[in-house]
């Protein structure tokens, strides 16, 4: 056999060996690739339970692959949605825009306004940073200004992640509800639903819109769907609105349940006073309702509830002044 033939045979053997190695690697890695895709798909439809199950599998079988960025992010995403422990310290380890925005959202959810505000300069004047500005303004009750920031046409809103685009539309919908423009609210809600139809926040805004339009049956149905998502963490805004719905429905048990939940939540005392104030006003107890709403505002309310409390106070004051004037007229005319 010539040297040329020997070299050719050696190359063929080497090629065969490499192909065999690649086949072995592909076979060995295929379960992991498949599992990565399952996590991606579960996140895209907000299937929290499936994400939990997949992460449990990775914890048992992933080994060093658990250090992959996608696995770490899936764990952070899960904690952000279900209210995981020590999430703030975990996110603080990252300095990139995505994780800093997640940290901003977490602080905003917890009512840590100062900490959330401190993160915004790190996001700079990017569309994601502008979204953060809009969310911050909404939390403070500056509804019109929030809407203006989120409608800036010169920004490429489509450049931000899909979940952030959805959040922008939902925030614009909430602003429209507060300002009484239910048609715009419905348009923004539908835009959000087209992007992420399974995003649970869409249900919450649909619930808010039903309340705004006094569609009590629809609001009750949506609230029951939201509550049925057992993984969904309790939050003050939803429980407060659910309590207001219970007042409208004269559902004493549901009102009691919501008030009990609010006692355990951050800043729950302010929202309990708000609910009690709404209930007092519904009974015609103007002075008591006014005092409770004033106290709720002093302690601290967020977003639409802050605006609503102030509007209610203004209406009560106007009515009380009108009653005084009427009484004076009656007295003067004997």
Nearest CA-CA partner of 223 in 199, 237, 250, 204: 204
Q: Given pLDDT bands bounded at 50, 70 and 90, which one contains residue 330?
A: very low
pLDDT at 195 over 90: yes
Tell me how far CA of residue 187 lies from CA of 115, 175, 192, 226, 314, in angstroms. Answer: 33, 12, 9, 21, 30
Rounded distance, CA 268 to CA 259, Å?
9
pLDDT at 198 over 80: yes
Rounded distance, CA 8 to CA 159, Å?
52
Rounded distance, CA 261 to CA 254, Å?
11
* Range in 106-120, 225-239, 244-258 with the lowest mean pLDDT: 225-239
Predicted pLDDT of residue 69: 82
Rounded distance, CA 211 to CA 205, Å?
10
Rounded distance, CA 236 to CA 299, Å?
14
Nearest CA-CA partner of 122 in 158, 147, 94: 94
Q: What percent of the chain has pLDDT over 70?
A: 85
Q: How many CA atoms lie within 13 A of 247 on its CB side?
A: 20
Nearest CA-CA partner of 90 in 82, 102, 81: 102
Q: Given pLDDT bands bounded at 50, 70 and 90, which one contains residue 327?
A: very low
Nearest CA-CA partner of 196 in 161, 233, 230: 161
Reported pTM: 0.82
Buried-state track 91-123, b at ≥16 Cβ within 10 A, e below 16 = beeeeeeebbbbbbbbbbbbbeeeebbebbeeb
DSSP symbol at 152? -
pLDDT at 324 over 70: no
Rounded distance, CA 36 to CA 32, Å?
6
Cα 256 to chain center, whole Å? Answer: 25
Show the tokens assigned to 155: 């920004």
pLDDT at 333 over 90: no
pLDDT tens digit string along 47-75?
A: 888 888 888 888 887 777 778 888 898 89
Q: Are 296 and 308 in contact (CB under 8 A)?
A: no
Q: Stretch 294-303: mean pLDDT, rounded?
A: 87
Rounded distance, CA 81 to CA 74, Å?
11
* Range in 79-88, 124-133, 138-147 with the lowest mean pLDDT: 79-88
pLDDT at 196 over 60: yes
Instruction: Say which residue, 204 or 19, is predicted with more confidence.
Output: 204
Rounded distance, CA 36 to CA 129, Å?
29
Predicted pLDDT of residue 31: 67
pLDDT at 28 over 90: no
pLDDT at 329 over 50: no
Q: What is the rounded average pLDDT for all residues in the chain?
A: 84
Instruction: Please enumerate in sequence order all residues whose Cβ is within 8 A of that of 327, keeping only pairs 6 or more positions apart, or say none.
Output: none
pLDDT at 243 over 90: yes
* Range in 5-9, 18-22, 187-191, 326-330 with the lowest mean pLDDT: 326-330
Q: Given pLDDT bands bounded at 50, 70 and 90, which one contains residue 27?
A: very low
Nearest CA-CA partner of 136 in 152, 151, 155, 120: 120
Predicted pLDDT of residue 100: 94
Predicted pLDDT of residue 229: 76
* Range in 22-31, 102-111, 131-140 with the lowest mean pLDDT: 22-31
Q: Stretch 181-193: mean pLDDT, rounded?
A: 96
Largest Cα–Cα separation, the chain: 132
Predicted pLDDT of residue 10: 62
């Amino acid at each position: 056999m010539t040297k040329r033939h020997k070299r050719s045979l050696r190359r063929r053997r080497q090629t065969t060996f490499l192909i065999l190695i690649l086949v072995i690697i592909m076979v060995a890695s295929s379960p992991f690739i498949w599992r990565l895709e399952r996590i991606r798909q579960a996140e895209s439809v907000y299937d929290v339970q499936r994400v939990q199950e997949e992460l449990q599998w990775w914890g048992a079988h992933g080994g060093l692959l658990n250090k992959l960025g996608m696995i770490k992010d899936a764990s952070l995403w899960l904690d952000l949605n279900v209210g995981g422990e020590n999430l703030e310290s975990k996110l603080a380890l990252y300095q990139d825009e995505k994780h800093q925005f997640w940290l901003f959202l977490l602080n905003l959810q917890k009512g840590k306004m100062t900490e959330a505000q401190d993160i915004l300069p790190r996001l700079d004047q990017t569309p994601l940073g502008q979204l953060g500005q809009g969310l911050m303004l909404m939390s403070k009750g500056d509804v019109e200004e929030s809407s203006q920031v989120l409608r800036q046409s010169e920004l490429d809103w489509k450049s931000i992640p899909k979940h952030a685009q959805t959040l922008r539309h939902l925030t614009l919908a909430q602003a429209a509800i507060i300002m009484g423009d239910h048609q715009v609210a419905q348009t923004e809600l539908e835009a959000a639903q087209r992007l992420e139809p399974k995003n649970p926040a869409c249900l919450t805004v649909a619930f808010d819109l039903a309340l705004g339009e006094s569609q009590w049956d629809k609001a009750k149905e949506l609230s029951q769907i939201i509550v049925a998502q057992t993984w969904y963490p309790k939050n003050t805004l939803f429980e407060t609105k659910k309590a207001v719905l219970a007042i409208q429905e004269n559902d004493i048990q549901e009102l009691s349940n919501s008030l009990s939940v609010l006692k355990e939540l951050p800043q729950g005392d302010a929202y309990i006073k708000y609910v009690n104030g709404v209930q007092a006003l519904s009974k015609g107890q103007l002075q008591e309702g006014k005092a409770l709403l004033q106290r709720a505002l002093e302690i601290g309310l967020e977003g639409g509830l802050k605006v609503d409390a102030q509007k209610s106070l203004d209406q009560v004051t106007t009515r009380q002044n009108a009653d005084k004037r009427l009484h004076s007229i009656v007295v003067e005319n004997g």
